Amino acid sequence: MMGGAAQDRPHVIKNVKGKRPAFFPTEGLDQAMSMIMVLANEIAVLHDRLDSQERVAKAHGINMAQEIEVLVLDTEALEAREAWRQDFLERLFYLARKEANEAANAESEESYRSTIADIAVG
């Protein structure tokens, strides 16, 4: 069986040029729906993995719930969790960040062209 850690799963986020299609008339709702779908996907995966772990543990006579309650994490485990959390947040807020960058770049390009036009006119 292959490793299941987040770092074992490569994430490729591609930036696509051009206007993103909008499905909802309310501004920001498409972004919110994108985030909700990312969260829903993560929850579904977590549910399946947790269910599998509990079934395997039960088959081996381990009370998983009790073991989790007394678990103390070391620094390495805490750092691994934080790395996963940062990757997750990166994917969750990807679209909002992408659109903010595009808006900032458009403003910069527009300002640049306006300045060049003003200089050309004199």
121 in the same domain as 81: yes
Whether pLDDT at 19 is above 80: no
CA distance 20 to 30: 10
| pTM for this entry | 0.48
**Token couple for 46:** 């977590």
Question: In terms of DSSP H, where are the helices of the chain?
Answer: 29-59, 64-70, 75-92, 94-121
Contact 4, 53 (CB under 8 A): no
| Number of C-beta neighbours around residue 6 at 10 A | 14
The mean pLDDT value for 35-56 works out to 92
Instruction: Provide the residue range defining the domain that includes 118.
Output: 73-122
The mean pLDDT value for 12-22 works out to 63
| Number of C-beta neighbours around residue 9 at 10 A | 11
* Within-domain flag for 85: yes
Whether pLDDT at 72 is above 90: yes
The mean pLDDT value for 60-79 works out to 93
The mean pLDDT value for 56-83 works out to 94
Please count the structural domains in the chain. Answer: 2
98 in the same domain as 61: no
* CA distances to 32, 86, 91, 95 from 36, in Å: 6, 17, 12, 12
Contacting residues for 67 by C-beta, under 8 A, at least 6 apart: 57
Whether pLDDT at 110 is above 80: no
Whether pLDDT at 85 is above 70: yes
**Token couple for 40:** 């829903």
b/e map 42-58, b = 16+ CB within 10 Å:
eeeeeeeeeeeeeeeee
89 in the same domain as 44: no
55 in the same domain as 99: no
